[in-house]
């Protein structure tokens, strides 16, 4: 009976704060990536197709765009840009994107810049 009560408490207080994992995110990422990295791509140097699709995707998700904008501008003017800070900032962006879709980089899913 105690375990059932603890499970109910967990479901009432913890579960509503989690974003359910969105498996469709993988299709989105694949589509954006493959637009400029396929045999049918017109890009030579810059991934124009992928940048265009990412821009349009972010336009459809203003909450994600706002979260990413906050991370990008966090500490603006006080950062000494070098390789380590750039990679760290890229990881923060990746983690934000994953969290928006209910994922996190960890043991089962490793995403690095």
What's the pTM value of the predicted model, to 2 decimals? 0.75
Please report which residue ranges of 15-110 form alpha helices under DSSP H.
24-36, 48-60, 62-73, 83-100
Distance CA 29, CA 56 (A): 13
pLDDT tens readout for residues 10-52: 777 765 666 778 899 999 999 999 998 877 766 667 888 999 9
| Percentage of residues of the chain with pLDDT beyond 70 | 90
- Confidence check: pLDDT of 96 > 80: yes
Give the distance from CA 43 to its chain's centroid: 24
């Amino acid at each position: 009976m105690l375990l059932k009560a603890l499970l109910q408490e967990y479901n009432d207080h913890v579960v509503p704060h989690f974003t359910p994992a969105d498996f469709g995110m993988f299709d989105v990422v694949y589509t954006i990536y493959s637009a400029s990295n396929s045999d049918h791509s017109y890009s030579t140097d810059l991934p124009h197709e992928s940048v265009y699709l990412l821009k349009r995707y972010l336009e459809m998700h203003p909450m994600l765009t706002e979260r990413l904008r906050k991370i990008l501008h966090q500490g603006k003017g006080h950062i000494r840009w070098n390789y380590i800070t750039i990679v760290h900032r890229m990881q923060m962006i990746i983690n934000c994107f994953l969290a928006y879709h209910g994922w996190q980089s960890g043991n089962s899913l490793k995403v690095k810049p």
